Each structure stands twice: as C-alpha cells, then as structure tokens.
Amino acid sequence: MSDGPAAQSPWQTVTIRRIEKRTPRVTSFFLQPSRPFAYRAGQHVDVRLTAPDGYQARRSYSIASAPEAGETIELAIERLDDGEVSPFFHDIAAVGDEVELRGPLGGHFVWSDSDGGPLLLVGGGSGVVPLMAMIRHRAARRSAVPVALVFSARVWDEVIFRDELIDFHDRRDGFDLVLALTREPARRPADYSRRVDAAMMEQSMVRLPAPPRFAFVCGSNAFVSAAAQALIDAGVPASLIRTERYGV
Amino acid sequence: MVTRGFSSGRKPPTDTDARIPPGQYLEQGFPVLSAGPTPRVRTEDWSFTLKHGPRPIKKWNWTEFNALPLTKMTRDIHCVTAWTKFDTAWQGVLVDDILADAGIEPPTGFTLALSFDGYTTNVPTKDLTAGKAMVALLYEGKPITPDHGGPARLLIPHLYFWKSAKWLNGLQFTERDEPGFWELRGYHIYGDPWREQRYTGDP
Ligand SMILES: Cc1cc2nc3c(=O)[nH]c(=O)nc-3n(C[C@H](O)[C@H](O)[C@H](O)COP(=O)(O)OP(=O)(O)OC[C@H]3O[C@@H](n4cnc5c(N)ncnc54)[C@H](O)[C@@H]3O)c2cc1C
C-alpha cells in the first residue's frame, strides 16, 4: 500500500459550490479548492473556521468524493446538535461562502485499486464517508477488485448515499452492499436489523471470492471498537484491519 | 480569514488561554484514536524491553516493572486532531528510573518507542529523560484501559499525543532519528504542539 509522506499542505481558502442534503442529519458540501488538490480515497481534510475576534475552531472531515471526481471535493457532515462546527455547516454555511481547508491528510486509511483486494469495508453512520470515496474510486477506475461494504445505520432513511450504493450493488460487478439497521427491520433480503457482530462479518466475507486482503473500519470510537473486535472474532487477522476513529 | 457567520461561542475563559496551544480546542472527554484494532495485552504476557539497536539491554516482566519506582504526573495533553485536555493524571515509571534500573546512560541521541501492535514512534532521547516522560501504568488511579493503551503506554505530554505510544513494549535507542509509523505517513518528525508541528513540512 502506498504510504508515502504527505506533501506539504498549507491552509487554503475553498469555496462552497453546492450543498446537498443526504439524510435528515447529514448534508454534503462540495468545496472548490483554490489550488490543485490531489488526494487518495480514504484521506481527510482539516477545516478551520475563524471568528471576528480571531478565535478558531478546527475539525477533521473525510473526503467522500473519488480522486477522479474533478473540480470539487465532497464532505458529508453529520449534524451534532450541541456541536460547534457541524451545526455551523448545517445552519449557516451557504453556497458561495469560503472556509479554510488543509489537506489531504492521513496516509494510512487509504486505498487505491492498484493496492488490490478483496476489500471488506465496515462503516457506522458518517463513518461510511471515506469508504464511499474508495467505492466511488473503484467504480471510476472500473476496477474488478471485489468489495463488500457492511454499513450500519439506525434506520433506512439515515443510510447516507443509499441510492448510489444500491445502484453500485445492482451492477453486480463485484461490489456488495450489506446494511445493518439497528432500530428498524431490514428491508433488503440480505440485510440485518441488529448491530454488527462476528456472525455478520463471517456471512459478509462469504460474499467475497477470497478472504479480504484489507479491512477498513470507520465510525465513532464505540462503533470501531465493536466492529474491529467482530472482525477479529470472525478470523480476520488484526494486521489486515485499518481503522479511522472519529474520536467521539 | 474571518468565516462569515461564525462566532466564538466556545471560546474558553481567558485564564486558560495560555494553556491551549495554537489551533487546539479544550475537550472534556477523552477521545480515542488509533490506526488499527485495540490489542488486548494480558499482564501475564506483557514485557518491556530496552534495546540499543537490535541488541536487548534489559527486559522486565509485569511484576518486575511494577516494582520500579512509581511517579505521578498530572499534565495537559494535546492531540494532533486538535483537542487539548487539561490535568490528565497518570502514574508510571519515569524513563530516568528505567535507565537507572538498567544501569545505563542513554547510549544514543534518538529513541524509537515500540508497541505490541507493531506501531513505532520516534523521539529525541533528551525528550524522554530529566523527568519529561514516563511509561504510564495508571490513569486517574486505575489501570489504563486497552482503548487508551493499557496495560502500559508512553507519556510524553509536551509533544502531540501520537508520540505517547499505546500498548508500549519497548524503547529502542537508534543512531539516527528514524521516522516511526505516523511520521512515515505525513506527520511531523518532532511534533511540538506549541510550534504547531502537525504535519510533514510544518516549520
Ligand atoms: C479523521 C476524522 C475524519 C472525520 N470525518 C468526518 C466525516 O466525514 N463526517 C462527519 O460528520 N464527521 C467526521 N469527523 C468528526 C468531526 O471531526 C467532528 O468531530 C464532528 O463534526 C463534531 O464536531 P462539532 O464541532 O460539531 O462538535 P464538537 O463541538 O466537537 O462536539 C462534539 C460532541 O462533543 C460534545 N462536546 C464537546 N465539547 C463540548 C463543549 N465544550 N460543550 C458542549 N458540548 C461539547 C457535544 O455533545 C458534541 O455532541 C471526523 C473526525 C476525524 C478525526
């Protein structure tokens, strides 16, 4: 896996070009960098907001778009009601506004089709964002690498990128979507209505033609701990598992 | 650049300003970040090895290590993901006391911290000695949980917290400053929060 040091990446001003509501709590922001911005699927950026008195808040957000996507980069931000930065994006930020951004960052939670597979992706809530970049990258490259995504959300309407994921799944070209809804009955035949566990991981791996070469797990800290343990209990060697924890 | 519509609702009281490095914000919780699954290391299986290059100098098991002098350290910690947490209370064995027990002076100017999961991080040896760093065994009086790096983690509170390697199982003296896991993946070679040395290329 290509793990070269990130090039120097100072802060730059980016412009919000488009805003798209994805679910009741998650909205995508399409940002136009002012300088060339090359990145790899799975990387994140730091975003910085500055108040008139100089106070600054800064948070990390994964990139949802594929490196091939072109002009803008997509961030998908979940609203935490008592948060500082995510409510700013949801309530105040408008098309044409500028924010400061630094990146791309992170050289570990990344995948390119040349890294090979099969891949087992496990996302909880907004933790699907960097996995989405990998799935879109795979599609853009017309890669044949087998990929299974186990995506846990509370309810059907909170499945971020749902239509696009189902569309990828229906192509039957080696990408499989497995949904695990924790607070609603499953809607698709092979989906689950419970939290991720080892049995679910075992059954999802059967969808891959061979054991996974890499497993990527992303979400809240509690989700990542539980999902990584489920993978280990399902026999995935710890050395193949890469995690990205959103901290809270 | 001032962001339209953003106001400083969360600005910490000014008496704490001087304790928050540039670009950081104050956090009450204790977020967890790591590159892979949490290793569960049983204290029966735990050991700590001091090495000079590939050569082991001395190895301790859990009981032997816990017999070394315990020191308390209460410090502010600073994570590169921009949170700062005040007054975290640790107890452990100062690197000075480990060296004393091994009966050596630091043989080289650089050190790699080694972890059970293969993680490494580099630090100049002088940042570990003179009371600056410890191998922590307790957090707030209790054994450190696996999520936070237990049974034992390095604590170098004056550098960004990725330098405080979790699930520590050794320190290795090296001739050169050899980049560790995150340092090879775009993070700063030294990591001083007060100079905002987050990523490769930062001053
Ligand atoms: C590598 C990485 C990638 C990430 N990618 C994404 C992503 O793609 N999408 C996404 O939505 N998120 C992502 N995150 C999480 C994101 O960085 C933020 O943590 C998240 O948006 C919350 O920020 P906030 O400012 O809204 O909330 P914060 O103000 O940070 O608060 C977070 C929570 O903590 C509590 N809290 C903390 N401090 C206080 C305080 N002083 N007062 C009151 N409450 C407090 C609040 O209850 C709140 O719910 C990522 C994180 C990392 C590390």
What mean pLDDT is predicted for residues B14-32? 84
At B194, which amino acid appears?
W
In a domain? residue A125? yes
In a domain? residue A220? yes
- Looking at the fold, whether A76 and A144 belong to one and the same domain comes out as no
> Considering chain B, what is the average pLDDT of its residues?
93
Is B35 touching A (CB cutoff 8 A)?
yes
Question: Which among B27, B84, B199 is the best mutation to test ligand 1's pocket, defined by most ligand atoms within 8 Å of the CB?
Answer: B27
Which residues in chain A are closer than 8 Å to B9, comparing Cβ atoms?
Answer: 84
pLDDT classification of A54: cutoffs 50, 70, 90: confident
- The helix/strand/coil state of B199 is strand
- Looking at the fold, whether A25 and A100 belong to one and the same domain comes out as yes
- Looking at the fold, whether A149 and A232 belong to one and the same domain comes out as yes
- Looking at the fold, whether A121 and A35 belong to one and the same domain comes out as no
What's the pLDDT at B29?
Answer: 86
Task: Spell out the domain ranges in chain B.
Answer: 46-195
- Neighbouring residues of A219: CB distance < 8 A, sequence distance ≥ 6: A123, A124, A125, A126, A127, A152, A227, A245, A246
Dig out the tokens for A223 from the structure.
């989700």
What's the pLDDT at A1?
Answer: 39
How many Cβ pairs closer than 8 A exist between chain A and B?
121
Does ligand 1 come within 6 angstroms of the Cβ of A62? yes
- Looking at the fold, whether A41 and A125 belong to one and the same domain comes out as no
Dihedral angle of Cα A154, A160, A163, A164, to the nearest 10 degrees: -140
pLDDT in tens, B79-93: 998 899 999 999 999
At A193, which amino acid appears?
S
- Looking at the fold, whether A99 and A122 belong to one and the same domain comes out as no
Which residues in chain A are closer than 8 Å to B11, comparing Cβ atoms?
Answer: 51, 53, 55
What's the pLDDT at B7?
Answer: 87
Query: Considering only alpha carbons, which residue of chain B is nearest residue A241?
Result: B36
- Looking at the fold, whether A127 and A96 belong to one and the same domain comes out as no
Element (H, E) at A224: helix A221-233
Does ligand 1 come within 6 angstroms of the Cβ of A76? yes
The residue whose CA has the least distance to atom 28 of ligand 1 is A83
Question: Which among A43, A84, A102, A132 is the best mutation to test ligand 1's pocket, defined by most ligand atoms within 8 Å of the CB?
Answer: A84
* Residues composing chain B: 203
Q: What is the DSSP string of B87-135?
A: EEEEEEEEHHHHHHHHT----SSEEEEEETTS-EEEEEGGGTTTTT-EE
- Count of structural domains, chain A: 2
Is the backbone peptide bond immediately before A118 cis, with ω within 30 degrees of 0? yes
The partner residue sitting opposite A98, judged by closest CB among B1, B29, B33, is B1
Which residues in chain A are closer than 8 Å to B189, comparing Cβ atoms?
Answer: none
- Looking at the fold, whether A41 and A70 belong to one and the same domain comes out as yes
Contact B116, B36 (CB under 8 A): no
Contact B92, B163 (CB under 8 A): no
What's the pLDDT at B33?
Answer: 82
Distance A76 CA to ligand 1 centre (A): 13
What's the pLDDT at A124?
Answer: 98
Dig out the tokens for A139 from the structure.
């599609």
What range does the domain containing A75 cover? Answer: 12-105
- Looking at the fold, whether A172 and A206 belong to one and the same domain comes out as yes
What mean pLDDT is predicted for residues A81-93? 94
Element (H, E) at B20: none
Residue position matching structure tokens 């979940």: A78
Q: What is the CATH number of the domain that holds A44?
A: 2.40.30.10
What's the pLDDT at A5?
Answer: 42
Q: Looking at the predicted structure, is the pLDDT value of residue A4 above 50?
A: no
Distance A178 CA to ligand 1 centre (A): 27
What mean pLDDT is predicted for residues B55-74? 96
Does ligand 1 come within 6 angstroms of the Cβ of B81? yes
- Looking at the fold, whether A88 and A159 belong to one and the same domain comes out as no
Question: Which among A23, A58, A86 is the best mutation to test ligand 1's pocket, defined by most ligand atoms within 8 Å of the CB?
Answer: A86
pLDDT classification of B8: cutoffs 50, 70, 90: confident
Which residues in chain A are closer than 8 Å to B118, comparing Cβ atoms?
Answer: 239
- Report the CATH number of the B46-195 domain: 3.90.420.10
Distance A217 CA to ligand 1 centre (A): 18
- Neighbouring residues of A200: CB distance < 8 A, sequence distance ≥ 6: A150, A178, A180, A192, A194, A230
pLDDT in tens, A214-233: 999 999 988 999 999 999 99
Burial class of residue B144 (count of CB atoms within 10 Å of its CB; 0-12, 13-18, 19+): buried
State how far residue A18 is from chain B, nearest Cα, in angstroms. 17
Q: Looking at the predicted structure, is the pLDDT value of residue B191 above 90?
A: yes
Dig out the tokens for A175 from the structure.
């990408």
* Percent of chain A's residues with pLDDT above 90: 88
- Looking at the fold, whether A98 and A121 belong to one and the same domain comes out as no
CA distance B81 to A97: 24
pLDDT in tens, B118-152: 999 999 999 999 999 999 999 999 999 999 999 99
